[in-house]
Chain A
């Protein structure tokens, strides 16, 4: 499967600031990437589908102006949490869609804490 990295692994930011999380596909050209959010002891919630060279598709209830997604190349997608608030604190995980569209390969996740 594809190797996926995320940076940073952990980040602490102050309320009102913005933070960018990177998701990289290290050995595979990823046309499609996904961003998930996971609350403590909860399942993964799909936030958006990121397509290279086009706008992301957001799931219902996800604020596109707050969670900015950019997929400028076949190996990099970024998620920017704008004007972060403590309720944005969560574990954010990205995944890469494999050559067979039904497979996804997950990154190690980024723990965001907003103080």
Chain B
């Protein structure tokens, strides 16, 4: 069975500092991995996804993530954050065995301070 772990419930960081949001997954088959962002009282917006190919994936708003199969991780990074990046970030996994259902992590709140 799949599962996704986001160990950090909240990550405070100062503006213009780099940030890494951690995500680890478990799955017995090939996976598809996603990062979504959610602003207050809104739905989810796709930041980036890993389906196959290059393990370094670039997304919107300057975010990137690296798929590490040996460590079963898909950490999200940004070299310099803005106040507007303050939001909830969700890591999710999907695979063929689960009929492509998305399994979400518990979320990480990124709090960017001036």
Contact = CB atoms under 8 A, between A and B. Distances in A.
A93 B44 contact: yes
A107 B36 CA distance: 13
Contacts of B107: 42-43
B24 to A, nearest CB: 15
Nearest to B107: A43
A42 B106 contact: yes
A60 interface: no
Interface residues of B, number: 21
Q: Which of B45, B102, B103 has the most CB of A within 10 A?
A: B102
Contacts, number: 47
Nearest to A97: B100
Interface string A87-110: 000010101010001111111110
Most interface-central of B36, B45, B90, B100 (chain A CB within 10 A): B100
A108 B46 CA distance: 13
Which of the four size classes fits the interface of chain A?
A: 20 to 34
Given A102-B32, A102-B94, A109 B41 contact: yes
B43 interface: yes
Contacts of B41: 91, 109, 111
Among B44, B45, B49, B101, the one with the most A-chain Cβ atoms within 10 Å of its Cβ is: B44
Interface in B24-51: 32, 36, 41-46, 49, 51
B106 A106 contact: no
B102 A46 contact: yes
Contact of A43 (B42, B45, B101, B106): B106
Interface of B: 32, 36, 41-46, 49, 51, 90, 94, 99-107
10 contacts: A1-B46, A4-B43, A44-B44, A44-B104, A46-B101, A102-B100, A103-B49, A105-B46, A109-B41, A111-B41
